[in-house]
Amino acid sequence: MKIGWFLFALLGCISGEKVKCPAGCECDLTVTNCNDPTIRYLNASGIDERTEVLILDGTNFTEVPSTFLSELKNLKELVFRANPFQALRTGAIRDMSSLESVTFEDSKINYVDCGGFLNLPNLKEVSFTDSKYLVFMASAAFKQCPEQGCVF
């Protein structure tokens, strides 16, 4: 009987584990959802290292925050929704071995530079859903990435 309670308490501690979460974001063990328009910058040290999905929805980034993205080693899905940046510069999304999917939804992005997506060996999908302003994507936008299954 005592062992059963001990195991129950131990499991409760494990499942109630603290998750690092930046101000203006909502987080669980593997998803960080930031939807505060006052957010202009995030630091990787404030995001839980177990994060697999990062959603930046309506934040005020003026460019893709590449300075911290490559530090998120477990990130599989990256979603930019309604952000004001207009260009994806060289190396903006880079060196992320787990990243499989990137979505720019309802964005003002109009330009993707050479190497905007760089060294992403597991990237399978890039989506520009409802991004009406995209007018130029460099022919070498994807460098050291596999052939994309879907870019739309």
Is 3 among the domain residues? Answer: no
Percentage with pLDDT > 90 across the chain = 41
pLDDT in tens, 49-59: 999 999 999 99
Say how many domains are in the chain: 1
In a 10 Å sphere around its CB, with 0-12 CB exposed, 13-18 middle and 19+ buried, how is residue 95 labelled?
Answer: middle
Give the domain CATH number at 110.
3.80.10.10
Is 46 among the domain residues? Answer: yes
Whole-structure pTM value: 0.81
pLDDT in tens, 97-123: 999 999 999 988 888 988 888 889 999
Closest CA to 69 of 38, 37, 47, 36: 47
What's residue 67's pLDDT? 72
pLDDT in tens, 58-75: 999 888 877 788 889 999
User: How many whole angstroms separate alpha carbon 19 and alpha carbon 3?
Assistant: 28
User: How many whole angstroms separate alpha carbon 67 and alpha carbon 90?
Assistant: 12
